[in-house]
Amino acid sequence: MNKIIFDTDIGIDDAFALLLAYKTQNILGITTVFGNTNINQVTNNAVLFSKKFDIDVPIYKGCSNSLVYNNSFDDSINIHGNNGLGDIFNDYVNYVAYDALEFIIDSINDNPHEIILVALGPLTNIATVIKKCPELVSKIKFLIIMGGAFGTDGCFGNITCNSEFNVWSDPHAAQLIFLSKLPIVVVPLDVTHKIVITEDDLLSLNNNFLIDLSRCYMSFYRNKKFFDGMVLHDPIVISYLIEDKWFDVKDVYVEVLTDSLYRGSTLMYDKKYDFHNILHHNDSLLRKVCLNLDVVNVKSNLLSILKI
């Protein structure tokens, strides 16, 4: 089993990803980051969800704000509910969550070349760790992120027409990561959009809690995207860790734009078209970007593992 650190802004899709990861990976710790809601609520939601499903993994509290921008955005249409996780938890727990950055740094030093960082929210925690301790880059097995959108399916973003939410939330963190020599696997909207979980798929899990958890997310897709079902972005990252043969991957350079209307846009550049060697990039900056997947196997595997 892969040793992973599960970095999350635990929205509804993160929660499904956490269940899938707990059943298939060795999760050393869960680190929270702002994103789908504020850091205190994210951490509270992670504690309550873990307790509900007896997920026996320590939870560490991470960054509350992006590197440069403040996080204010109109979350009146928060697709993950007012509390960021389907509005099914009402209580607030007094959980002493220690510092996520320290946990990540210590874990990588204690397990050199063994840990996969799984980032399912803004990349602020990961970027801050690399800024503080650049020498850790060579000790991380690889980073895999749910993030970005390259338009191969006609979609260049979901929070804006040009950018995907996790990258948009902290584009400077994403830019820092893609300028580093960290090995990175990118799972963008281009592939996550290919897996739609229908109402029948959800009912087939025989889990009323997950059905309740998903109600507001399903209604967002029905009312705003005009289709019956939901796209669970984050679990597809775990599907890659389960079986990367189900994914078509391209080795490309990735750049992140940080400002103006193109804040959070992700651009990929295929080395084989650099006829005049303009880029002078070295191969350590090539990233594995997933651009297609085996829909049948990824979806059936996801549903079979989550089914009670």
Binding site for Ca ion (CB under 5 A): 9, 11, 14, 120-121, 234
Nearest partner of 231 among 191, 200, 188, 192, judged by Cα: 192
Torsion of CA 40, 165, 282, 136, to 10 degrees: 10
Residues in contact with ligand RIB, shown as a per-residue x/- string from 112 to 131 under the rule CB under 6 A: --------xx----------
User: Apex CA 279: angle with CA 274 and CA 283, to 5°?
Assistant: 90
Question: Taking the complex as a whole, how short is the minimal distance between the CB of residue 294 and ligand RIB, in angstroms?
Answer: 21
Q: Verify whether residue 276 is a known catalytic residue.
A: no
Of 3 and 193, nearer to ligand RIB (C-beta) is 193
Bridge partner residues of 197 (DSSP): 230
User: 3-class DSSP state for residue 206?
Assistant: coil
By the rule CB under 6 A, 288 interacts with ligand RIB? no
Q: 62 is written with which tokens?
A: 């991470």
Among 170, 190, 201, 234, binds ligand RIB (CB under 6 A): 234
Residues in contact with ligand RIB, shown as a per-residue x/- string from 133 to 162 under the rule CB under 6 A: -------------x-----------x----
Residue-wise DSSP of 30-82: EEE-SSSS-HHHHHHHHHHHHHHTT----EEB--SS-SSS-----GGG-TT-T
- Residues 233, 276, 280, 281: which is the catalytic one? 233
Nearest partner of 88 among 198, 224, 210, judged by Cα: 210
Of 187 and 249, nearer to ligand RIB (C-beta) is 187
Q: How many CB atoms lie within 10 A of CB 308?
A: 8
Question: At which residue do the structure tokens 């999350």 appear?
Answer: 8
Q: Does residue 224 contact residue 218 with C-beta atoms inside 8 Å?
A: no
Residues in contact with ligand RIB, shown as a per-residue x/- string from 11 to 30 under the rule CB under 6 A: x-xx----------------
In the list Ca ion, ligand RIB, none, the entry touching 4 (Cβ below 5 to 8 angstroms by class) is: none
Residues in contact with ligand RIB, shown as a per-residue x/- string from 30 to 69 under the rule CB under 6 A: -----xx---------------------------------
Bridge partner residues of 5 (DSSP): 29, 117
Q: Which stretch binds ligand RIB (CB under 6 A): 6-14, 99-107, 177-185, 260-268?
A: 6-14
Residues in contact with ligand RIB by the rule CB under 6 A: 9, 11, 13-14, 35-36, 120-121, 146, 158, 164-166, 233-234
Question: Which residues have a catalytic role annotated?
Answer: 233
